[in-house]
Amino acid sequence: MTSLDSWKTLRIRPAKIAIGCLTLGLAALLACVVYEIPERPLPLATALQDIATEERLIEKSGVGNPVTAVLLNFRAYDTLLELGVLVLAVLAVQATSAGVVRKRVGSGWKHNRLLTATLGIVVPVSIVVAGDLLWMGADHPGGAFQAGAVLSGAGIMLILTDRLNRPFFSDWRYRLAVVVGVAVFVIVGLGVMAVGEQLLQYPAGLAKTLILAIETAAMASVAVVFVVLFDAVAGPGGLWNQSNSLVLREDRQ
Amino acid sequence: MNFDSSVPVLLIASSLLPGLIIFTLREEQRGLRTTLNLMGASVKLLLVAVMLWGVHHGHAYETVIPFLPGFDLTFRADSLPMLFVTLSAVLWLLTTIYAIGYLEGSANRRRFFGFFSLCVSSTVGIAMAGDLFTLLVFYEMLTLTTYPLVVHRGTKQALRAGRTYLVYTLGGSVLLLLGIAWLYALTGDLCFKEAGRLGDLPGEYAPTLRLIFAMLVLGFGVKAALVPLHGWLPQAMVAPAPVSALLHAVAVVKAGAFGIVRVVSDVFGIEFANRLGVLTPLAVAASVTIIYGSLRALAQDDLKRRLAFSTVSQVSYIALGVALGTPLATIGGLVHLVHQGLMKITLFFCAGNLAERLHVHRISEMDGVGRKMPWTMGAFTLGAFGMIGVPPMAGFVSKWYLATGALQAGQPWVIGVLAASGLLNAAYFLPSVYRAWFRPPSGEVAERAPAGGVEITWWLLLPPLTTAALALGAGLLAASDFSPLAWAKVITGREFGL
Amino acid sequence: MTAFTLYAIGGVGLFAMGLFSFLAVAHLLRKILALNVMGSGVFMVLIAIAHPERAATQPANVDPIPQALVLTGIVVAVSATALALALTCQYHAETGRTTLPEDSPGDERSDR
Amino acid sequence: MNTPHPGLWAVLLVALPLALALAAYVAGRRIRPILVWIAPLAMAALVTGLIHSLIHQGPFRYEVGGWAPPLGITWKVDGLAAAMLAITASVMGAVCVYAPGYFAGSFKTAGAGKTELFWPLAYLLWASLNAFFLSADVFNLYVTLELMTLGSVGMIVLAGTAESLAAALRYLMLGLMASLLYLMGVALIYASYGSLDMVALGGQLRGDPLTWAAASLMIVGLLIKTALFPMHFWLPPAHAGAPAPVSALLSALVVKASFYLTLRLWFDVFPAVARPSAAQFLGVLGACAILWGAIQAFRADRLKTLIAYSTVAQLGYLFLLFPLAAAPAVAKKAWLGAILLALSHALAKAAMFLAAGRIQQLAGDDRLDRLTGIGQRAPLALSAMALAGVSLMGLPPSGGFAGKWMLLVAGVQSGQWWWALVLVAGGLLTAGYLFRFWAIAIAASDHPSQRVPVNWRMELPPFALGVAAVLIAFLATHAVELLEIGAAFPIGGTGEVAP
């Protein structure tokens, strides 16, 4: 066995060494760079200091939690587009799996009594927790995404126990739920322009109401999107199960 | 926009619009297509006549079309452009008539006539361009619009010829593009001006200017088929006869020669170019081309190939004329632009007729064709005599002025070149004339046309007869006011400030 | 070393590790994991920035903007990961491969 | 209420396609006529309105949500952004008219439901492109970049082949990696300046290592997305493997978007760290792209692969801007040239892909050796290819010529003649691979040509784009006027520079 072959069995190749050096260098460079950050002044951050010092700005935002204020008011436009990313993910996943003829197979766990009992607790609790997260999110950590994620957990459990077994993509109600977050966001954003404001500039006093409306719709979308994505990839009959031998092993060939 | 400034645009549009409309027609709409073609050609001739009258009375037709910032499309029609415009307008009409007859029943006629019209539009643009940039734009358009014509038949041979054509012309374009950009960077202005505009530049620019001159002349020299840049021309003769007429007489090689004339006389100025010392090399290159082309022509048996090499030789008379740098030689060069066009197109028309009617492609097959097609061969004979320079044909006039111009320039060796070329011309044209008239029909010709004459349709006969008559007329009536010679004298007078 | 630099350098380290893995490994699932590690590195840097000691809102509070950016970034990362997984599964189902054609094992050329 | 704020146009340019995308997803076929005919016209009207207000009221910034930076997100609407919006609308409009015919003809057997997805995906892509061109917030740009990547991937897999899956995966992976590089740069910028607003940052950035590192990360990320040599390898399979209308969108618009941001960052935000040596380096990569792309295009055995490699080459030209604009005397010319090239390439490349789609449909294949004489069966599609090709080769009087001529003059005038040589060599190579195809297409075919009626809906859009790619040259003077509006870049004047 030549030395070259032993290199191959170790699977350390010159290319990998080069990449290693490269990324190490990058890490070192970036580490040096961030190390000196604390000494630097922040020339453009004056307005930000106002958020902290002047309570009025937060009050005007309609919510008490600064992160929620940024997400749904100061930089609400980012959040709108982010909901768009979720819709796009669903569209793209659907495009990937649309050619696949799906055999709806059951997971076989429908009559598992332990699961059934758990579901009886988990699903209602999830709904309550999600509602709480949504409501509390205005003034404390939480909000639409967290709430939506919790809800989707319940949905995924329902899928895994064959209690929610639907062709999501061909049901227009699910498609509507996927887009409702963005839709409400856009409607609110354009609606406020009708009363003479900028895009997504909430009129004084209405901020909290509008934010809650958006958050509720966003929660619904997030929950449905996660459920649909999970179902398409990992649900019974989903892409994962069709490619049953996909594991973390490299190709033998 | 008044009439004077819209005339150049109209002149281009008179072939551009028919061309574009023809593309939208269906292949079967033959009548409409023919009408459009002939209408466009007639309108163009009419406009040319009006402009000739105007220029003769001292009008200058100028138009500026905004294009890129700092680079407008400028058109200016005075005496030199009119010389070229008139030639191409007249020959376009005749070639169109000829092509209608020649391509009767063949495929892709829509494509053919469409691009043909676009070619002529580009040529008119080249002729009237008021600066180097505009000239470049139309020169490149000419390259593009000619390609589909060269490969018209779509055969392997045609595609190969098309490829060769592109390699040569695009290579030339690169030189041209760089040369013009460099000139612009140096002077900031590309307008043509009589006697040139570079004379005021400081002396240290001389080497740069020489290099730019070389780039420009080589760039144009590709289309003008200067040796060794001529390789595409003989290959391109696989195209149908009307295309050969276009390449050799109406547009392409003429555009190259015209470009050289423009560079020498209106960019550098003949005097300044002479001082730079770039004219003698050009004259030598032209002379080499003249002799080389003639020698190669002598060796060809294929009639169209022989004619193609003859073009290589003859077009360089134009470059030789301006390169000699004297008024008389310049007159000779300019007038040859027209004369060569008339004579060569006659020969190609006739060659096309022979191929079409009798399937004669080679000199060795031409025995007795004169008896079968007397009118065609009559025109052919006139054209051939013109090429040789027999008085009183047009070719004689050009050569006479070139020769006297060479003496004026103190370069008597040129006379030797001219004489040698004349002899060679005679050597490669006379045998075909002799065979046609004085040998009995043999072989295939006899079989195909066993008895009497088999003259061809009027569509194909009228054009060569007309051009032959014009070539004869240009020689006989050279002294009249509207002869090509008179125009060439006017142009030269302006250039030299006489 | 302050808490800020600790987190920030940790984030940079994660980022570089993820990048190494992404470039050096051919298996698609590993690549997806690597991308997620990279993303976590960036998020960690952003969280470090928000730290009161370094926040733009000195001297009072945590800076909410980077935190909001991280939340947005996470949702984007989740969406992209889901799509990448779906594509990988479908690709595997159709071709039986777990690597892209150009960087299958045995091929010296790695994913540049 | 007096005249509407010009921001209204911008808002609608993002909101309308977004709303239509959602509607298309939920409602399916029912709103198809709106998507195909009405919406493109409405978008064209909106862009026209925006440009009109730019010309009369000047450039403006729009604070989304009414919050000023560094707190809120702003849009910056200037001439360059408007030009990109306009070109997006043109290409998108043509694709919308073209797509139904293509999908009806190409996917008769495959899942018909799949092609329904084209519409929401395309309109979401449209919305994200518009949002991208408007935005002046580096993080918001990250989100729109991701939107574009996911949208593109979703559209590539519509082709449904294993190759397109692999191409989409590769594209997605690299796109995500590039986005994360970019995002790391954004994080560093925010950490040291406390703002995400490009306009505010532009005046403040220092030339220190941190800024340098941030700039490098962001720009390398974008270069990967722009497929600059040697990071181009993901592009040809993705653009060639996608369905033709999708290829048109990707090649014409999506790669231009990341180039656009590169320009903005390089000249607006990072002038302090954009060193001349770096500019020359980008120029060298551009030159390599021109040569390598052309060679690969010449070796391609499929029409769409040829066109995709041509995109690699043509993108290279755009990067010659960086070294040329570094010479102040010719910066205006270089700018105008590069922008004209980008715009005309968008039109020409879209025309080529759409025409190639039609040709592929007629021939049943896009292998070059099966396309002999195809010109007789699809004359209009071939004319579209020819017109677009004229522009790609840079022959007059096309937009490509205008752009290359301005770059050429800039190169020669600033004494950087090597770029001038690259430009003309690239033109020759382009002619080489394009004429290779044309010679095949117009060759006399062995089989008698069957007459195929012209499919106007599939052949007119590419033809119109091809015509536009040629005629855009005559808009060059107007383009300068538009680009000057609010330009922080070194545009201005008429391009006249004293010798």
What does the alpha-carbon distance between residue A96 and residue A102 come to, in Å, rounded to a whole number? 13
What does the alpha-carbon distance between residue B200 and residue B186 come to, in Å, rounded to a whole number? 12
Residue C83 to residue D150, Cβ atoms within 8 A: yes
CB atoms under 10 Å from CB of D57, counted, come to 12
Q: Output the average pLDDT for chain D.
A: 90
- A132 close to A76: Cβ distance less than 8 angstroms: no
- Residue in chain D nearest C14 by alpha carbon: D184
Q: Which of A97-106, A178-187, D24-33 has the lowest mean pLDDT?
A: A97-106
- D95 close to D249: Cβ distance less than 8 angstroms: yes
Residue D193 to residue A43, Cβ atoms within 8 A: yes
Q: How many helices (H) and strands (E) does chain A have?
A: 11, 0
- Please tell me which chains touch C, using 3 or more CB pairs under 8 Å as the contact test: A, D
Q: Output the average pLDDT for chain C.
A: 84
The number of angstroms, rounded, from the C-alpha of B268 to the middle of its chain's C-alpha atoms is: 23
A243 pLDDT above the threshold of 80: no
Closest C-alpha to D398, from D382, D381, D386: D386
D202 pLDDT above the threshold of 70: yes
Chain position carrying tokens 């559209």: D155
Chain position carrying tokens 């579209």: D384
| pLDDT interval class at A247 (50, 70, 90) | low
d(CA D194, nearest CA chain A) in Å: 5
- Residue in chain C nearest D164 by alpha carbon: C91
A105 pLDDT above the threshold of 90: no
- Please tell me which chains touch B, using 3 or more CB pairs under 8 Å as the contact test: D
- Percentage of residues of chain D with pLDDT beyond 90: 69
Query: Model confidence over A4-41: pLDDT tens digits?
Result: 444 455 566 788 899 999 999 999 999 998 888 876 66
Residue C75 to residue A49, Cβ atoms within 8 A: no
C110 pLDDT above the threshold of 50: no
Chains B and C touch each other (3 or more Cβ pairs < 8 A)? no
- B338 close to B471: Cβ distance less than 8 angstroms: no
> CA B471 → CA B256, B437, B462, B463, distances in Å?
22, 21, 14, 12
- D53 close to D173: Cβ distance less than 8 angstroms: no
Residue D413 to residue B71, Cβ atoms within 8 A: no
| pLDDT interval class at D4 (50, 70, 90) | low
The number of angstroms, rounded, from the C-alpha of C95 to the middle of its chain's C-alpha atoms is: 27
- Residue in chain A nearest D197 by alpha carbon: A44
> CA B219 → CA B177, B179, B237, B335, distances in Å?
8, 9, 22, 23
Residues of C whose CB is below 8 A from D233: 102, 112
CB atoms under 10 Å from CB of B481, counted, come to 9
- Please tell me which chains touch A, using 3 or more CB pairs under 8 Å as the contact test: C, D
Residue D143 to residue C41, Cβ atoms within 8 A: no
d(CA A115, nearest CA chain D) in Å: 34
pLDDT of residue D25: 93
A55 pLDDT above the threshold of 60: no
Assign D425 to helix, strand or coil. Answer: helix
Chain D positions touching chain B (beta carbons under 8 Å):
333, 336, 373, 376, 383, 390, 395-397, 401-402, 405-406, 408-409, 411-413, 420-421, 424-425, 427-428, 431, 435, 439, 442-444, 473-474, 476-477, 480, 494-499
pLDDT of residue A251: 45
Residues of A whose CB is below 8 A from D131: 81
Tell me whether the omega of the peptide bond preceding residue B18 falls within 30 degrees of 0, making it cis: no
Token pair for C79: 């969406």
> CA D41 → CA B121, D46, D53, distances in Å?
35, 9, 18
Chains D and B touch each other (3 or more Cβ pairs < 8 A)? yes
B170 interfaces chain D, CB cutoff of 8 Å: yes
- Residue in chain C nearest A244 by alpha carbon: C93
Stretch A53-62: mean pLDDT, rounded? Answer: 68
| pLDDT interval class at C112 (50, 70, 90) | very low
Residue C108 to residue A85, Cβ atoms within 8 A: no
Token pair for D99: 């797509």
Residue D442 to residue B154, Cβ atoms within 8 A: yes
D317 pLDDT above the threshold of 80: yes
What does the alpha-carbon distance between residue D408 and residue D423 come to, in Å, rounded to a whole number? 7
Task: Give the start-to-end residue ranges of the domains of chain A.
Answer: 3-39, 56-242
- B41 close to B16: Cβ distance less than 8 angstroms: no
d(CA B72, nearest CA chain D) in Å: 10
Residue among D401, D409, D424 minimizing CB distance to B184: D409
CATH 3.40.50.300 for domain C3-103, yes or no, is: no
D8 interfaces chain A, CB cutoff of 8 Å: yes
- D39-57 vs D79-106: helix crossing angle, rounded to 10: 170
- Predicted ipTM of the assembly: 0.91
Residues of C whose CB is below 8 A from A232: 86
Closest C-alpha to D351, from D291, D310, D301: D310
Query: Model confidence over D75-89: pLDDT tens digits?
Result: 999 999 999 999 999
Assign D64 to helix, strand or coil. Answer: strand
Residues of B whose CB is below 8 A from D496: 69-70
Query: Model confidence over D457-494: pLDDT tens digits?
Result: 999 999 999 999 999 999 888 888 888 888 765 544 33
Residue among A42, A178, A199 minimizing CB distance to D64: A199
- Sorted by sequence, the CB contacts under 8 Å of residue A21 that are 6+ apart come out as none
Residue among C35, C54, C90 minimizing CB distance to D165: C90
Residue among D395, D409, D495 minimizing CB distance to B185: D409
Residue among C46, C100, C102 minimizing CB distance to D187: C46
Residue A27 to residue C12, Cβ atoms within 8 A: yes
Task: Give the start-to-end residue ranges of the domains of chain D.
Answer: 299-499
A48 pLDDT above the threshold of 60: no
Residue among A34, A43, A47 minimizing CB distance to D68: A47
D328 interfaces chain A, CB cutoff of 8 Å: no
Assign A184 to helix, strand or coil. Answer: helix
> CA A200 → CA A76, A209, A250, B246, D102, distances in Å?
7, 13, 49, 66, 38
Phi and psi based region of residue B497 (left: phi greater than 0; alpha: psi -120 to 50; beta: remaining): left
- Sorted by sequence, the CB contacts under 8 Å of residue A138 that are 6+ apart come out as A62, A63, A64, A65, A68, A208, A211, A212
- D213 close to D220: Cβ distance less than 8 angstroms: no
d(CA D233, nearest CA chain C) in Å: 9
Q: Which one of C2, C65, C74, C99 would you mutate to disrupt binding with A, by most A Cβ within 10 Å of its Cβ?
A: C65
pLDDT of residue B4: 78
Chain position carrying tokens 């033709």: D244
Amino acid found at D366: D
Residue among A74, A93, A251 minimizing CB distance to C83: A93
Residues of D whose CB is below 8 A from B151: 439, 442
Judged by CB atoms within 8 Å, which residues 179-208 of B form the interface with D?
181-182, 184-188
User: Does A86 or B392 have the greater pLDDT score?
Assistant: A86
Residues of D whose CB is below 8 A from B137: 396-397, 401
First-last CA distance in chain C: 35
pLDDT of residue A96: 87
Query: Model confidence over D269-290: pLDDT tens digits?
Result: 988 888 889 999 999 999 999 9
| pLDDT interval class at D448 (50, 70, 90) | low
Name residues of chain B where pLDDT drops below 70.
Answer: 1, 446, 448-454, 498
Chains A and C touch each other (3 or more Cβ pairs < 8 A)? yes
D67 interfaces chain A, CB cutoff of 8 Å: yes
What does the alpha-carbon distance between residue D259 and residue B86 come to, in Å, rounded to a whole number? 50
